[in-house]
Amino acid sequence: MVAERKMQPPLPPPEHHRRVLRFVVFLAVSLLAFSCWALVNSRINVALPDSAVLTPALTAQGDRRPAGDPASIPPAVPASGNATARAVKLSDPVIREPLAGEGEGEGERERSKRCDAGSAALRVYVYDLPAEFHFGMLGWDGKGKAAAWPDVRDAGAVPHYPGGLNLQHSVAYWLTLDILSSALALPPGGRPCVAVRVANASLADVFFVPFFASLSYNRHSKLRRGERASRNRVLQAELVKYLMRKEEWRRWGGKNHLVVPHHPNSMMEARKKLSAAMFVLSDFGRYSPDVANLKKDVIAPYMHVVRSLGDADSPAFDQRPVLAYFQGAIHRKAGGKVRQRLYQLLKDEHDVHFTYGSVRQNGIRRATAGMSTSKFCLNIAGDTPSSNRLFDAIVSHCVPVIVSDDIELPFEDVLDYSEFCVFVRAADAAKKGFLLRLLRGISRDEWTKMWMRLKEVAHHFEFQYPSRSGDAVQMIWGAVARKMHSVQLQIHKRGRYQRTGSES
């Protein structure tokens, strides 16, 4: 068998050869023809709109939508695209009004964009005080107009707060503008939804008293010729009378009312009479503990006066040649003695900047430059435990060094200040060499960590209108909402037996 196989002829006959050759030529010509066709075809496809080459599978998917629904225009997504992704994409840029018969997911999205009494954390009833208590002080003349409030739809046209140092305590102004804007039909997603204004007092969590108390102190404290009492005093007396007549105040003795005497000297006459209310304050320095305390009141930041640094143009460790910066009055009354002591300790250090004088108009630019080129900014107790310097330091991304034992800080229940501030007890700061050793001992890495955190938190200290999510205005509403929980607890407890008529 093996020998036989070896004997067979090794090559195919010539007839077979020719057939193979013909087949190869045919194959080559066919391939060439096919590639020419493919090339021409692809050119045509590029020139045509996507919709002209829709696959039947995709059109079938589109057909599942109800007729007349704009979404039945076939979407330009690959047939393999995932349905969730497509639905989100479709509803985004084009379709704005809620459509009848649309998917449940869509309806939920629309609902979540609206800010109403159901979705806000805090429902606020705003007293329609006469204009002289608020925007009247800013030149807005409410008289003769039907509206109790200025038109806040155009942010550029709302009455302006006087600039300069008055702005530090402008908290009531920003809160009022924001809560007024909640009545507007703003575009969906346009306004943060922490607090919302309600017209029906029985729906309110808190009653807002829109008195610009700090401005009244700044502007109207001086006794004018022929007056027996300053305008600031008269307004306070009228406010007390107004509130005491209100059923809403009398019901719970004012407990669920919000008043904003942010300037330490504002509402000197009325603060005791209204002390049941929740106050928004800069600190407790000039309050007795029964009038104001952390249990019922909210600490709000000062509005900073230096320019905020953008994230991109914030000098890093090596671009800040000054180790420590302080600007302010050195000689102060009781409580500020540590300033004088620190001045003596630090005045001869080459990399410490210690200057007299408050931040006045032309000083603002110098302070902006000074703080943004310093690694640490000193906040030393003055005649009040707090000052706007802390907030100037924060927006300059200059790590605050807080030497003020009694200071209360805004939003400390949600912010850990030790992540971006250095705290030093006044007694320690007064020791020779203590502060410098501490600051020089903070490594570049440690400092940079605090600086990065400062950049993250700085927006919590910005006041603006329109307010933005997470800014000072929203943070204050949030703090008020959290405080209201304990007020609600007291109120609910007191109301336990209202159905059976007995007083608790």
Ligand X SMILES: *[C@@H]1O[C@H](CO)[C@@H](O)[C@H](O)[C@H]1NC(C)=O
CB closer to ligand X out of 197 and 262: 197
Site string for ligand X, 354-383 (x = CB under 6 A): ------------------------------
Stretch that binds ligand X, among 77-85, 98-106, 144-152, 256-264 (CB under 6 A): 77-85
Residue 80 interacting with ligand X (CB under 6 A): no
CB of residue 203 vs ligand X: minimum separation in angstroms?
A: 6
CB closer to ligand X out of 82 and 504: 82
Residue 427 interacting with ligand X (CB under 6 A): no
Helix (H, G, I), strand (E, B) or coil at 257: strand
CB of residue 92 vs ligand X: minimum separation in angstroms?
A: 12
CB of residue 88 vs ligand X: minimum separation in angstroms?
A: 6
Stretch that binds ligand X, among 79-87, 302-310, 383-391, 479-487 (CB under 6 A): 79-87
CB closer to ligand X out of 8 and 200: 200
Residue 200 interacting with ligand X (CB under 6 A): yes
Of 41, 84, 500, 504, the residue at the interface with ligand X (CB under 6 A) is 84
Q: What is the pairing mode between strands 374-380 and 352-355?
A: unpaired
Q: What is the pairing mode between strands 399-403 and 374-380?
A: parallel
Report how many helices (DSSP H) and strands (DSSP E) the chain contains, helices first.
Answer: 16, 11
What are the backbone dihedrals phi and psi of residue 259, each rounded to the nearest 5 degrees, phi first?
-125, 145
Stretch that binds ligand X, among 180-188, 196-204, 367-375, 418-426 (CB under 6 A): 196-204
DSSP calls for 372-440: HTEEEEEEE--SSS--THHHHHHHTTPEEEEE-TT---TTTTT--GGGT-EE--HHHHTSTTHHHHHHH
Of 85, 94, 369, 414, the residue at the interface with ligand X (CB under 6 A) is 85
If binding means CB under 6 A, how many residues of this protein chain bind ligand X? 6
CB closer to ligand X out of 80 and 502: 80
CB closer to ligand X out of 202 and 502: 202
CB of residue 116 vs ligand X: minimum separation in angstroms?
A: 14
Give the integer Cα–Cα distance in Å for 326 and 379: 7
Of 20, 203, 223, 414, the residue at the interface with ligand X (CB under 6 A) is 203
CB closer to ligand X out of 61 and 464: 61
CB closer to ligand X out of 41 and 84: 84
CB closer to ligand X out of 41 and 82: 82
CB of residue 89 vs ligand X: minimum separation in angstroms?
A: 9
Residue 202 interacting with ligand X (CB under 6 A): yes
DSSP calls for 279-345: EEES-STTS-TTTS-TTT-EE-PPPP-SPPPPSTT---GGG--EEEEEES-SS-STT-HHHHHHHHH
Contact present, 336 and 383 (Cβ < 8 Å): yes
Helix (H) or strand (E) holding 482: helix 472-494
Q: How far apart are the first and last CA of the chain?
A: 119
Residues in the chain: 504
CB closer to ligand X out of 84 and 504: 84
Stretch that binds ligand X, among 31-39, 198-206, 291-299, 453-461 (CB under 6 A): 198-206
* Residue of 503, 490, 499 lying closest to 253 (CA atoms): 490
Contact present, 302 and 168 (Cβ < 8 Å): yes
Stretch that binds ligand X, among 199-207, 331-339, 416-424, 467-475 (CB under 6 A): 199-207
Structure tokens at 257: 């009312």
CB of residue 431 vs ligand X: minimum separation in angstroms?
A: 58
Contact present, 125 and 206 (Cβ < 8 Å): yes
Residue 82 interacting with ligand X (CB under 6 A): yes
CB of residue 246 vs ligand X: minimum separation in angstroms?
A: 16
CB closer to ligand X out of 42 and 82: 82
Output the CA angle 390-428-348, nearest 5 degrees. Answer: 75
Contacts of 155 (CB under 8 A, 6+ apart): 465, 466
CB closer to ligand X out of 123 and 320: 123
Give the integer Cα–Cα distance in Å for 279 and 208: 10
Other Cβ atoms within 10 Å of 339 Cβ, number: 24
CB closer to ligand X out of 42 and 84: 84
Residue 28 interacting with ligand X (CB under 6 A): no
Give the integer Cα–Cα distance in Å for 411 and 420: 14
CB closer to ligand X out of 208 and 376: 208
Stretch that binds ligand X, among 106-114, 200-208, 379-387, 428-436 (CB under 6 A): 200-208
CB of residue 84 vs ligand X: minimum separation in angstroms?
A: 4
What b-and-e string marks burial along 132-146, b requiring 16 or more CB atoms within 10 Å of the CB? bbbbbbbebebeeee
Residue 42 interacting with ligand X (CB under 6 A): no
CB of residue 491 vs ligand X: minimum separation in angstroms?
A: 16
Return residues touching ligand X (CB under 6 A). Answer: 82, 84-85, 200, 202-203
